[in-house]
Structure 1
Amino acid sequence: METANKKKSFSFPSAFTILFFILIIAVGLTWVIPSGSYSKLTYNMQDKVFIVKSYGEPDKTYPATEKTLDEFNIKIKLTNFTEGVIKKPIAIPGSYQRIEQHHKGIQDIPVSMVEGTIEAVDVMVFIFVLGGMIGVINRTGSFNAGLMALARKTKGNEFLIIFSVSILMLLGGTTCGIEEEAVAFYPILVPVFLALGYDAIMCVGAIFLAASMGTAFSTINPFSVVIASNAAGIQFTEGIGFRTLGLILGGLCVIGYLYWYGKKVKADPSFSYTYEDREEFRQRYMKNFDPNAVIEFTFRRKLILILFCLAFPMMIWGVMAGGWWFPQMAASFLSFTIVIMLISGLKEKEIVDSFTEGASELVGVSLIIGLARGVNLVLEQGMISDTILDYMSNLVSGMPGSLFILGQLVVFIFLGLIVPSSSGLAVLSMPIMAPLADAVGIPRDIVVSAYNWGQYAMLFLAPTGLVLVTLQMLHIPFNKWVKFVLPMIGCLLLIGSILLLIQVSLYGS
């Protein structure tokens, strides 16, 4: 009996604990993995020249010409640099060198946590503004009134909401790589999903899982496939047919899986992977929602919800066409919030209290982002990321075409853990990995696909990516998420492997 009680009392570590242990492991890796560095090339927009930074040497300036790029064996169009398409430093092929070891110590753990939080301040401000906005809208009763109206209209067809959200996220992922921006949808959609009879993990599936599957099979996403193609020296339209086919197959898998899971939960709530936490979820997200209460859906409440909904297409437009990033997105949401405050009918103290309470509920989420950035800082400052890339490139070099591309897929799965940024990994790895495809006689766009599919298979789980932020926001244990998402990772890798092998057989020599 005592043993059984001990088993029941065990709870999986929180996101903070997981990331803290990963930070310790990262520090340990700086003592195990040799430090090394590639020379990096950047374009100086002001002076219109290339600057090459090599470790331990003064910066060198070169004319911004195609000849310079050819000398460094960088097969990227000059216009990609001069027009600002590629802004981050490009690793120069064949320039890797071992350097003195950059050990990190115990004293660096708290420092990296603080520095990572400072680096993530733009994302954190966005999240605080979002939380404050939701707090104000909640105080007006608009969400509750809208929830009741939605529940009445969708009775018997609840999955249409899941389907619609999933399709939107798939499209958002494949076109603009919606990831961090998706955190804005959770606080409002979780109560909706719970009111429809689903659980909180279905919300993560419809938003994070669908968006990530869309991003994995990016078609025109400028932050992954476009920048990776440019860094590989090819047009992003090369291979788009296979990526579109993958998107369709991956999307069908996600929607089919959510339909199956949702049907099971609706039939038997105890089937839910988060069943034991259901009461906590309901108290947290529906504490102000009484299904038996009558809340009038007034014109004012409808107008507030319309303004809230308008903030999202405005954000997506800004990211895709306006060059926005988190400061601009936060300012946009804050502008909508101010308008909502003015028409809310609330007293000044109610407005201030509801905004600060809403923002305070997302403090933990913001700190998770900072801690994850701290892990990345340790790996960067320890100078081991380039060493891992060099080792991986040598590992797959010279393999037969089919083994080479599957090896690339595995390599990018691992690199996705080390470098969770899609654009960062693209400019770091593509100039090194893409030329290896030439040696085995296959097109470079196949390597770009392997990068996309491998990296995102890891980002479904990578603690240094966005997943822990999402889980912390919804208070879902990491082990429950792993159980839920593993079938979809298997689908992604199976679809990706088959499509890669088909491409190699069609276009390989």
Structure 2
Amino acid sequence: MENQNKKKKGFEFPTAFTVLFIILILAALLTYIVPAGLFAKLEYNADTNEFQRIDPDGNVSTLPATQETLDNLKVTMKVEKFLDGSIRKPIAIPDTYEEIPRSPQGIIDIIMSPIKGIMDTVDIMVFVLILGGIIGLINKTGTFDAGIAALSKRSKGKEFLLVVFVCSLISLGGTTFGLAEETIALYPILMPIFLASGYDAIVCIAAIYMGSSIGTMFSTVNPFSVVIASNAAGISFNDGLTIRIISLILATIITLVYIYNYARKVKKDPKNSLIYEDLDKIEERFLKEYDPDNVAPFNWKRILILIIFLGAFPVMIWGVSKADWWFPEMSGLFFAVSIVIMFLSGFSEKEAVNTFIDGAADLVGVALVIGVARAINIVMDNGMISDTLLQYTSNIIENMNGGVFAVVQMILFSLLGFFIPSSSGLATLSMPIMAPLADTVEVARHIVVSAYNWGQGWMSFITPTGLILATLEMVDVTYNKWLKFILPLMGIIGIFAVIMLVLQTMLI
């Protein structure tokens, strides 16, 4: 009997923490294999109106902030982009790569990196914990349950319109201002609605996460990726804009069709769900208080609480896109909203505070995943192998055929995106090196920008160093189930991106 139980239980995929630690160890091993190296970096100092050049050996020198300086360094961009703040991060100077003494990351480095990662991402973690607290408060007031019941009655038979609306709206946010980390706030709100509509957690993840991923992958005017990359490549972000808009629309449609086919199967028979064995556990977490036959009335107080909470999102979007907000400001916004909801809830002071703390405690695991994911980047940065990988990739694509050049660049950028998950960081590091290579094969530089954006965005569908593991931890879905769902779509979108890249090379 004991053997039968063990057999029935079978293999259990490891948690997000174990997956991240395995990758962390592999990253540390790479620092023993890949030579350490650095490009010289150029940074603009607004206080002194000078360039600072940081050589691989650490020597710092000052240079006049002029176009002549950039031309002499073979940095093919306009000096105005530094002066007006368009380029804020240090850029790599072409033809300056040097190998430096290795800095292999050992056991102590591996152990300390998650601690440093948590310290580096404390702003994001505070945002997540405050979000958990506010969700706990709203749940206890019965607001979400009442809202779900009201929405279910109105959307009967039209449930997939919610998927279309959510995915398209988030995709629009991703393509315009890089909406990504902010979407973490949406899962606790939308998950109960999707589950009550007859879908599973994967449909909810796909609508939110893939909306963001498609939007940021096929960015049109996102200042944190395509605009910075275009500036660093020495071109206007309007170059190639038309093909990027067309690609965004088509990729969003492809994604929605893929989600629809899966959602239809799940709605027809829950056994078709990739997470069927976990449905009870997930519903217990997100619908434990929800009884469609016994729901509290959606009265004025609950409507007001929901309006105040949802009203924080357009304010957050305005802050991020227009007022230079980041996680501290977003956390402050939601903390203020939580205080207002405490007063509206009618709870006693002790009950309100304890409910907030309990809600925050529910997302501690998610917050820690974010910190551990950052540890992988810390190990690679300290091992100083990122610039070496960039040097290797630039050597691979020299003197290629135009179409092959574009496709291989996309593949290489997808690999670099795993090691350098920051879109702005990858752009400022790689574009001064990669963009001039386009001239040697008679390819427009905006194609290199597309290859960068599409390659990095494509890898973000699955890269554990990005947001996906934190997302999966939030909704109790294991990484292998996500891979099973997303890999076919990843293949389709990858082929589509390749076709669009080749078309771009044919249109110039």
- Fold agreement, TM-score > 0.5: yes
How far off its partner does 1:342 sit?
A: 1.9
| 1:248 corresponding residue in structure 2 | 249
- 1:43-442 matches, within 5 Å, as 43-442=44-443
Could you tell me which runs of 5 or more consecutive residues in structure 1 were left unpaired when the two chains were aligned. none
4+ aligned runs moved over 3 Å, structure 1:
1-8
| Counterparts of 1:41 and 1:380, CA distance in 2 | 18
CA RMSD across the alignment = 1.2
Paired residue secondary structure (1:223): coil
Deviation at 1:487, TM superposition (A): 2.1
Please list every run of 5 or more consecutive structure 2 residues that lacks an aligned counterpart in the other structure: none
Q: Distance in 2 between matches of 1:146 and 1:205?
A: 22
Normalising by structure 2, we get a TM-score of 0.98
- Aligned residue for 1:41, secondary structure, equals strand
Rounded to whole Å, the distance in 2 between the matches of 1:309 and 1:57 is: 49
Could you tell which deviates more after superposition, 316-325 or 76-85?
Answer: 76-85
Report how far residue 426 of structure 1 moved: 0.7
Give the 3-state SS of the residue equivalent to 1:155 in structure 2. coil
Asked if 1:19 corresponds to 2:24, the answer is no
> Aligned partners of 2:339 and 2:363: how far apart in 1?
19
8 Å Cα contact 1:410-1:454 kept in structure 2: yes
CA contact (8 A) 2:145 2:295 kept: no
Q: Which amino acid aligns with 2:414?
A: I
Q: Distance in 2 between matches of 1:409 and 1:362?
A: 35
- Separation of aligned partners in 2, 1:33 and 1:128: 38
Task: Name the CA distance, whole Å, in 1 between partners of 2:295 and 2:16.
Answer: 38
CA offsets 1:349-401 (integer angstroms, 9 cap, x no match): 11101110111111111111111111000100101010011000001111111
User: Which deviates the most, 488-497 or 124-133?
Assistant: 488-497
Name the CA distance, whole Å, in 1 between partners of 2:150 and 2:304: 15
* Structure 1 residue matching 2:42: 3-state secondary structure: strand
1:369 partner amino acid: I
Q: How far apart, CA to CA, are the structure 1 residues paired with 2:45 and 2:354?
A: 47
CA contact (8 A) 2:202 2:482 kept: yes
8 Å Cα contact 2:54-2:61 kept in structure 1: yes
In the alignment of these two chains, the number of paired residues is 507
Q: Distance in 2 between matches of 1:96 and 1:239?
A: 30
Which residue number in structure 1 is paired with residue 30 of structure 2? 29
TM-score (norm 1): 0.98
Q: Decide whether the 8 Å contact of 1:453 with 1:492 is kept in 2.
A: no
Cα distance in 2 for partners of 1:4, 1:294 equals 39
- Aligned-pair CA distance for 1:5: 4.3
Q: Which amino acid aligns with 2:192?
A: P
Q: 1:294 to 1:383 in 2, by over 3 A?
A: closer
Deviation (angstroms), 1:32: 0.5
Q: CA deviation at 1:3?
A: 8.2
Deviations 1:323-344 (A, max 9, x none): 1111111111111222222222
C-alpha distance after superposition, 1:282-333 (max 9, x if no partner): 1111111112213111101000000111111111111111111111111111
Q: For residues 75 and 269 of structure 1, do their structure 2 counterparts lie closer, same or farther at Cα, with a shift above 3 Å needed?
A: same
What SS class does the counterpart of residue 43 from structure 2 fall into?
strand
Give the secondary-structure state (helix, strand or coil) at the position aligned to 2:221. coil
Q: Kindly provide the amino acid, as one letter, of the partner of residue 240 in structure 1.
A: L
Displacement after TM superposition at 1:429 (Å) = 0.7
Deviation at 1:475, TM superposition (A): 1.1
Task: Indicate if the aligned counterparts of 2:225 and 2:453 stay in contact, CA closer than 8 A.
Answer: yes
Q: Find the residue that maps to 1:184 and give its secondary structure.
A: helix
Contact 1:128 1:363 in 2 (8 A): yes
Are the equivalent residues in 2 in contact too, given 1:249–1:495 (CA < 8 A)? no
State the 1:491 CA deviation.
2.2
**Which amino acid letter does the alignment assign opposite residue 18 of structure 1?**
V
